[in-house]
Amino acid sequence: MPGELRRLPFTGVSRRRVERLLNLTMCLMATSRFLTVSQIGELVEGYEPGRTEEEQDAFRRMFERDKAYLREIGIPLETGADSAFSNETGYRIRRGDYALPDIALEPDEAAALAVAGSLWSSTALAGPAASALRKLAAGGAAVSGGGLGVLDGFEPRVDATEPAFEQCLAAVQAGRTIRFPYRKVGETDSADRHVEPWGVLSWRGRWYLAGHDLHRGAARVFRLSRFTGPVRMVGPAGAVQVPPGVDLRAMVSAQAPPDRFRTATLAVRRGSAHALRRYARPSPDTNPPPGMDLLEMDFADTEQLARWIVGSGPDVVVVDPPELRAAVVGRLRAALAGTAARDVASPPAGVRRDERPVSAR
């Protein structure tokens, strides 16, 4: 965006020094006159000029090191004086020498970027997307509200809370074969899968991995919520190539089974799990455990609901069905063993969503 600082390569620098270097860079870019060393010491947070001669010498040595480092990484510090009568060197950074140039976007381009950025509501992709939206807004682009024109009232979202999402996406991008434990629908035990990943796609609000199953020798689709452990890359980078003519969206739409809604019975501690209660209803059973309520909830994805229940800790106990109870117990055991990553899940799928596939590659 206009006037934005370029990315600074502060690799291997302490956090405290990074903050001081950023403050120094922004201060020297914000001024049109040359600032002397003493003025920089007063204006830049992180410097402490002190009063004693020893403290002032330490400050000046620190500034000299910072000045040399900024020049080393390519920041053009300019030296000079504001008048011919000044005998003290000053410093500044011309904005035109270091700020990024203006980026002009047509209204439809800004709208497309805004929609793409707002899609990601979770995972590591959400942070960069949110940062991009803030930069678009800072540059004057309309990225929310009425600025999207025909998209007013439409708020697209792509949730990707499954721990396997980032691992599978990284394998697709690297072109590496992967192994992972996978639990099929209706089964309580997992089986190891060996797959050449071709793509990660969303269909009916669920994320799927499409690829070539080496055990079965055929193209297969795997729902990410049914991965029961970490994804391991086992092949060299670039070894996996998507065959020409393969339509990943057609694969997912053809192989992904339709949602089969079932009913879970949960014992929920009174006064807790309020988010879960919003999607549940009282159970007709009138004999709940002491201090708990019996609730019923319709769900379609066992693993997604299990992940949500695990987040409630001991406040929620699965009464039925056995498959859901086994999934919760499995996740709790994995967490106890330190093998499961901590995550926060979205509410279980119960609302029909846009059925157009969305891919992440």
Q: Inform me whether the pLDDT recorded for 155 exceeds 50.
A: no
- What is the extent of the structural domain holding 136? 107-151
- Specify the pLDDT at position 335: 75
Q: Inform me whether the pLDDT recorded for 228 exceeds 80.
A: yes
Q: Inform me whether the pLDDT recorded for 190 exceeds 60.
A: yes
Average pLDDT value for residue range 68-87: 80
Average pLDDT value for residue range 71-91: 81
Which residues are within 8 A (CB) of 60 and not within 5 positions of it... i.e. 6 or more apart? 37
Which of the listed residues 255, 287, 317 is the one where a domain comes to its end? Answer: 255
- Specify the pLDDT at position 222: 94
- Give 291 or 258, the one with higher predicted confidence: 291
Q: Which residue has the tokens 């109870």?
A: 325
- Specify the pLDDT at position 136: 62
56 and 81 both lie in a single domain: yes
- Give 50 or 215, the one with higher predicted confidence: 215
Cα angle at 45 between 9 and 11, to 5 degrees?
15
Which of the listed residues 73, 98, 123 is the one where a domain comes to its end? Answer: 98
Mean pLDDT of the chain: 78
Which residues are within 8 A (CB) of 177 and not within 5 positions of it... i.e. 6 or more apart? 171, 194, 195, 196, 197, 214, 233, 234, 235, 239, 240
Nearest to 221 by CA among 244, 239, 246: 246
19 and 49 both lie in a single domain: yes
Q: How far apart are CA 48 and CA 148, in angstroms?
A: 48
The encoded tokens of residue 320 equal: 């039925």
Task: Give domain status of residue 157, yes or no.
Answer: no
Q: Inform me whether the pLDDT recorded for 74 exceeds 70.
A: yes
Number of domains in the chain: 4
Which of the listed residues 213, 230, 255 is the one where a domain comes to its end? Answer: 255
38 and 72 both lie in a single domain: yes
Task: Give domain status of residue 297, yes or no.
Answer: yes
Task: Give domain status of residue 343, yes or no.
Answer: no
179 and 240 both lie in a single domain: yes
20 and 91 both lie in a single domain: yes
Task: Give domain status of residue 143, yes or no.
Answer: yes
Q: Inform me whether the pLDDT recorded for 47 exceeds 60.
A: yes
Q: Inform me whether the pLDDT recorded for 154 exceeds 60.
A: no
Task: Give domain status of residue 293, yes or no.
Answer: yes
- pLDDT classification of 75: cutoffs 50, 70, 90: confident
Please state the pTM of the whole predicted model.
0.44
68 and 123 both lie in a single domain: no
Here the CATH number for the domain that contains residue 177 is: 2.30.30
Q: Which residue has the tokens 């370029």?
A: 6
320 and 268 both lie in a single domain: yes
86 and 111 both lie in a single domain: no
pLDDT in tens, 278-331: 889 999 887 888 999 999 999 877 877 888 898 888 899 999 998 889 888 888
Backbone φ and ψ for 35, nearest 5 degrees, come out as: -100, 130
CB 113 within 8 A of CB 136: yes
185 and 114 both lie in a single domain: no
Q: Which of 72-81, 139-148, 351-360 has the lowest mean pLDDT?
A: 351-360
CB 314 within 8 A of CB 260: no
